[in-house]
Amino acid sequence: MVQKLPGGIYRSDLKLADGRDISYYDSSEINRSAADKRNEEAQPGIGHLRLDPLVDEWVVIASHRQHRVFLPPKELCPLCASTGEKLTEIPDKDYEVVVFGNRAPALTTPKDNFKLAQISALTTPDVDAAGACEVICYTSDHSSSFAKLTEKQIRAVLEAWKDRDSALSKLPFIEQVFIFENRGEEVGVTLSHPHGQIYAYSFLPPKIEKMLQVANDHLAKTGKVLLDEVIKREIKDEKRIIAQNSDTNDEWGTFKVHFESVHPQFFTTLSQLMPSLTPLELRQCAYIKINLSPKQVGNLLNITPDSVKKARMRIKKKLNLSPEDSLTKFIATIQEGGIYS
């Protein structure tokens, strides 16, 4: 079954040989039907939650995780796509983004009557480690990383995150969904393929409870959202900002002054020729005039190159150009006072 998500992303849901769910996230509609050819294996039993009475915090006990795969070589990586006789966690021969249940989950689906025990110091009983643990692979490229992904790939990852957060949040035994990535052997990474984790807890971790309490206290005292205030302070201090969005309107104003000094009456001529062109479309035409590529324009406008190409197609239609006509060549003929062939 294929479901269309926001951002032009398509999700395909299938089953692995042992019954776990796997979902492919693609930027175009693809028929995902590759079956998992591995032998069916029994799922590990559920772990348990044990209360640490010294701090009143739940601790996850999952001894079955001691037997999971540890830093295999690239040719044996279980997160690469399946090829030939090499059968992995991803049955298809290639993928963009994929999410599936962890083979050795610390948290998993409990019995229907699950209820988290009330904390009562030393008499608190152990309970099932209810929750969910999922793996999200950012790309089929084993040597890549999240930082190397294109905007298109990042959009697919973001939509997968949103989709899984929404689905897991609806489960009756889930209190928090935590999406994260560990990097490096020093923090316990067991697979080097670019991937992250999605954990869903049946309780609120202490740090999250503390953050919520502090945020609520701040709102009650000041009437303001704490995170908004932190961001305002950081922007004002300008000491810890690594990267910041530019003011595209100011940049465009400066660009337009210099552009019109070289190409006077360009916008006037184009507007007279086709009054229905929007300010943004006129701006796109100016970028075409100076031979900027869709990728370069996309970077300036914070949109994808595909969006730039679609915008150019709309401009062609407004200018009554045929599919065979070149918009670039047409824009090049626009000079002061008219159009010249």
Look-up of token digits 């869709």 = 294
Q: Which of 48, 67, 195, 263 is catalytic?
A: 195
Query: φ and ψ at 149, to 5 degrees?
Result: -70, 150
Contact 99, 134 (CB under 8 A): yes
Residue 23, strand partner residues: 13, 99
DSSP for 201-253? ESS--HHHHHHHHHHHHHHHHHSS-HHHHHHHHHHHH-SS-S-----HHHHHH
Contact 186, 71 (CB under 8 A): no
Look-up of token digits 């599919």 = 323
Contact 49, 128 (CB under 8 A): yes
Report residue 83 as tokens: 């090829």
Listed in sequence order, the residues at least 6 apart from 29 whose beta carbon sits closer than 8 Å to its beta carbon are 2, 4, 10
Residue 179, strand partner residues: 198
Listed in sequence order, the residues at least 6 apart from 256 whose beta carbon sits closer than 8 Å to its beta carbon are 286
Concerning whether 195 is annotated as a catalytic residue, the answer is yes
Question: In terms of Cα–Cα distance, which of 192, 191, 58, 182 is closest to 131?
Answer: 58
Q: Which helix (H) or strand (E) holds 287?
A: helix 279-289
Catalytic residues, which ones? 195
